[in-house]
Amino acid sequence: MARPARGPRLWAPTARRSFRWTAYALGVTAFAAATPTPLYSVYAQQFGFSASVLGLVFAAYTPGVLLTLLILAPQADRLGRKRFLYAGMALTAAASVGFAIAPDVVGLAIARFVAGLAVGATTSVATAAMTDLEPNRDPHHVARVAVAANFGGFAAGVLASAALVEFAPFPTHLVYLLPVVAGAVGVLAIRSTPETAPSLGAPAEPRRLPVELPPELRRPFWVALGGIAACYSIYGLFAALVPSYVRNGLALPDALDSGFVVALMFGTAALVQLATSQIRDRRALLVGLPVLLVSLVGLVAILRLGTFGPLLVVAAALGAAVGLTFMGSATLVDRIAPEEHRGGVLAGYYSAGYLALAVPTIGVAAASERIGLATAGVLFGGLLAATTAVLFVLILWTPTPPGGGGRPRTPPAALR
């Protein structure tokens, strides 16, 4: 006898609670990925490796993300989304343990790679589950909360880790209890949510060719791809550059100082996601990209001046610009993605972001050994500013495509 559909109970307060718990699980992986950020300088001294090696350790995250995001995560709809979210929490804990016991730089790179696996297993799967759990079926709200969970989780992870590094004993070990505990809570959170996989138990399908968008939607898609690439490039630039710059360039060795600057940028981006619900799609890009350009010019100038106060102002401005740009980029993709190919479009979209994350991370680290950290930051900041200007021109020439508007979607046939 067929089991009756239970979709209607999604629209009760239970659905809102499940939506929030799923967003929490998404934020846990970002929190864990941020935890070692204030410790990389400690590891560099402890294991005696150069800035370029540090860049490679940081970038080891990217192949881990892409492996699970592109190859494994698309199977979640038939294998079960909750299973992938459980795997994300387990990989989060494994990466944290790996960092805590890492005997050398290779151990750090492996731990960073496993952290990337956790993020890749969680990002698109949690977002898809949130889409089915959102009580009003509003994809713009889903995109806004998902991005806020990512940025907010990263900000919280950096700040909490920096505080423990500064004030607690055993900094290279104690801080990793935080993501392990957060992951354990995440497991309990996932258990309280329903399974939303639409084709659970279905046989494996042949691997599909890349999704082809209609010609009229290709330019908006490439603009959106440029938006997320710009945001993640700044993510990589800021996380790779600022802690070392604050410690060495500004002679502020306290981990809390550098942690606060990084957390300010990511925290502001998260708050902007939640506060600008009516600015979306092309409008958000038209606002966010100019602010991004001005903020990058300000960052380049401050790297030359070497002052801490203005760096805080620029960090907040960059956070606001990244929040708006990411909002516009994510909602633009939601507007144009064909319903039947949404997973493939989103996988390609996020993959572009994570690939862009690695470029400034490795580039700044390698260039800093030859031309100095501040000069390397000026170089890459200038390149990002020029790219942002080109993106702004492209969005001026790109009309708003049809669709969007928080369009409703069909609820899942049954919750398992």
Give the start-to-end residue ranges of the domains of the chain: 13-199+213-396
Per-residue confidence (pLDDT) for residue 104, from 0 to 100: 92
Mean pLDDT, the chain, whole residue set: 83
Per-residue confidence (pLDDT) for residue 209, from 0 to 100: 47
15 CB-near residues (< 8 Å, 6+ apart): 9, 133, 134, 135
Per-residue confidence (pLDDT) for residue 342, from 0 to 100: 66
**Topology annotation, domain 13-199+213-396:** Growth Hormone; Chain: A; (1.20.1250)
Give the residues of the chain that fall short of pLDDT 50.
1-12, 209, 404-416
The reported pTM is 0.84
Model confidence pLDDT, tens digit, residues 258-269: 889 989 999 999
